[in-house]
């Protein structure tokens, strides 16, 4: 077995190569599901909850690097993973029939994501653009520039959460 394959764990340098593979796997899973018929709403809710957990994990990796010992390679790996998932068609994981229900846990999506689809997709597209820009900037190794762009990514997340996520 070759050591060139990507392995997932926090300090792994192979995560950079794994991000495009993760995005491809998500897209292939969606294609497979379409070929098998529409997935159950519970499955779609699980898929989107899982995708957002990956986003949260990689955001945490970047936040840790920015507040602790900065590791440019670690930040670049996490930024690449963020960009890959953000650009993998997340809005497609919110079809009609998934406004309510349970995946790994009860969904927290607000009804507006289904009634104001244009705004929802626009915010999702902005998030994808900001995440892509973060990946581009992270490649430079400039911690200050990464910090500024990471705040833009966080703001893109927040603007969507404020409008389309229910909180208790």
Structure confidence at residue 8 (pLDDT): 38
Phi, psi of 102 (to 5 degrees): -130, 130
Most confident of 9-23, 50-64, 154-168: 50-64
Q: What percent of the chain has pLDDT over 70?
A: 78
Is residue 13 pLDDT above 70, yes or no?
Answer: no
Domains located in the chain, CATH noted: 15-164 (1.20.120.10)
Q: Is the dihedral of CA 37, 39, 159, 76 positive or negative?
A: negative
Q: Dump pLDDT digits (tens) for 140-164.
A: 999 999 999 999 999 999 999 999 9
Structure confidence at residue 4 (pLDDT): 37
Q: 132 Cβ partners below 8 Å, 6+ apart?
A: 83, 86, 87
């Amino acid at each position: 077995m070759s050591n060139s394959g990507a392995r997932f764990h926090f300090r792994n340098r192979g995560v950079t190569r794994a991000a495009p593979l993760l995005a491809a796997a998500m897209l292939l899973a969606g294609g497979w599901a379409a070929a098998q018929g529409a997935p159950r709403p519970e499955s779609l809710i699980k898929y989107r909850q899982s995708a957002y957990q990956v986003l949260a994990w990689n955001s945490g990796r970047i936040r840790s690097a920015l507040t602790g010992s900065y590791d440019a390679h670690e930040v670049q790996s996490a930024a690449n993973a963020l960009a890959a998932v953000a650009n993998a068609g997340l809005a497609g994981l919110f079809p009609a029939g998934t406004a309510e229900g349970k995946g790994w846990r009860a969904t927290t999506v607000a009804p507006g994501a289904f009634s104001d689809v244009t705004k929802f997709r626009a915010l999702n597209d902005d998030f994808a653009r900001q995440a892509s820009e973060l990946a581009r900037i992270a490649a430079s190794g400039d911690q200050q520039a990464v910090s500024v762009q990471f705040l833009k990514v966080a703001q893109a997340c927040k603007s969507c959460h404020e409008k389309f996520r229910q909180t208790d």
